[in-house]
Amino acid sequence: MSQVPSVDHPFARARFDFAAPLPRAEELGSVHFLGIGGAGMSGVARIMLARGVPVSGSDAKDVPVLKALASEGARVWVGFEESHQEGAQTIVMSSSIRDDNVELRAARARGARVLHRSQGLGSLMHGQRRVAVAGANGKTTTTSLLTVALQGCGLDPSFAVGGELARHGTNAHRGADDIFVVEADESDGSFIVYRPEIAIVTNVQPDHLDFYGSFAVVQAAYEALVATIQPGGLLVTCADDAGSRALAERATARGTRVLTYGFRPDADVALGDHRQDGLTSGATVLDEGVRRLLTLGIPGRHNALNAVAAYTAAVHGLGQQPDHVLAGLASFTGTRRRFEPKGEAAGVVVVDDYAHNAGKVAAVVETASQLVERPGRLIVVFQPHLYSRTRDFAVELGRGLAPADVVIVMDVYAAREDPVPGVSGELVADAVRRTGRGSEVHYVPSWSQVPSVVAQLARAGDLVLTVGAGDVTMIGPEVLRLLSAEPR
């Protein structure tokens, strides 16, 4: 952008010029990543390594992916020191890296090129048919479903996903074909970088208000994304979501080709007859007057929507055969931390999910509640993510959790934020109580106490669902260990 955005511009708070031209991969030189262990960052690093780009990186924590990246040829460090970035021509950083980071300050002082994660990924996409998947909810699963569907058609697309595909054991891959599927993160406005041929928008909802400030600015950001679709390209939107539907109407009025999907009968690609059988599900797909069967190895009405979004993009955007696409979707085995079974002990099943905003939480709790065989109960362990989100959406999070029989709320996982006075997980626990649904509610601020509280409450036939984007994912295995050790 050539001018400083006004205060109501969607990217007024951005630290990067996301509209600037991107360098090509061969122009990057050696690349050093700040926060290389993150889900998105590690994926970009993997593809650069596959392209032959020299890669190094630092991360605050010794996460398992660092060892994997080192085995693939990267030099990695735990902790940030000025010397780590020396010699790198390009720095790639995540939004969580603060401006006072010692490596970032040193790199800027010597004049190194500094790119946001999305810009680093975009530099790898020149000459590719790009598909960007955006939305408040469902984008990781939709990106993964589309990738597997294309593989089912005999293609080898490149992909970068915010989660690990269970079947492949990786979050990114450099493919042999000219299709690149990317999960486009809306949290910081960076999703306008990719300039896709096809954009999928699963939903437009008020989230990341710590960056955007208001829902109106969120909506403007998605408008900016649509404006980056290549001439003659395609926008795929969910007819069931009001925000996505409004975006489609405005895009159509401006001449963008739009196809909608959903359970609404007026959707261009319409779903019907949804059914669920344990951890599998299915529905019918009505497309251009032909009814076909969609079968999935994952549960949930929301995942049927994600699958038909992938179907629409693959068939109507990339020209693949419907039956081949559906066969690929049927082979999908899930994404790590998306309703991922962790195990069973003493008759108690434990499942983990990354859901962290109100819409995602409501969808995963609804899905889990349908799987419980009574008199078994649904026990949800929820870790709020970000102080700002907890403050702004405690009521909505409480409503999403309320269908559970037992709700255990942990304290807030701060991530990139500093604590906010008066904001804690207790706000969400109180919101659940106020719904009047009768859930048994516990607020347990001490992380170390949560597994024992869950193990004491759980009994044979219960389903324990751990939910959140932070370290709540470590609770499930500890619960299983305690249950295995206790006489039941």
Is 183 one of the annotated active-site residues of the chain? yes
From the list 90, 103, 139, 396, the catalytic residue is 139
Question: Annotated catalytic, 139?
Answer: yes
For residue 87, the one-letter residue type is: G
User: Phi then psi for 353, rounded to 5 degrees?
Assistant: -145, 145
The residue from 140, 202, 256, 473 that is catalytic is 140
- CA 222 to CA 207: how far, in whole Å? 12
> What burial class does residue 370 get, using C-beta atoms within 10 Å of its C-beta: 0-12 exposed, 13-18 middle, 19+ buried?
middle
The rounded distance, in Å, linking the Cα atoms of 335 and 171 is 9
**Contact criterion met (CB below 8 Å) for 201 and 383:** no
Minimal CA–CA distance to 311: which of 137, 139, 146?
146
Say how many CA atoms lie within 13 Å of 109 toward its Cβ: 11
Token pair in block for residue 218:
């969120």
Cβ proximity of 136 and 203 under 8 Å: yes
**Among 90, 141, 147, 183, the one annotated catalytic:** 183
285: left (phi over 0), alpha (psi -120 to 50) or beta: beta
Q: Which amino acid is at 136?
A: A
What residues are annotated to the active site? 139-140, 183
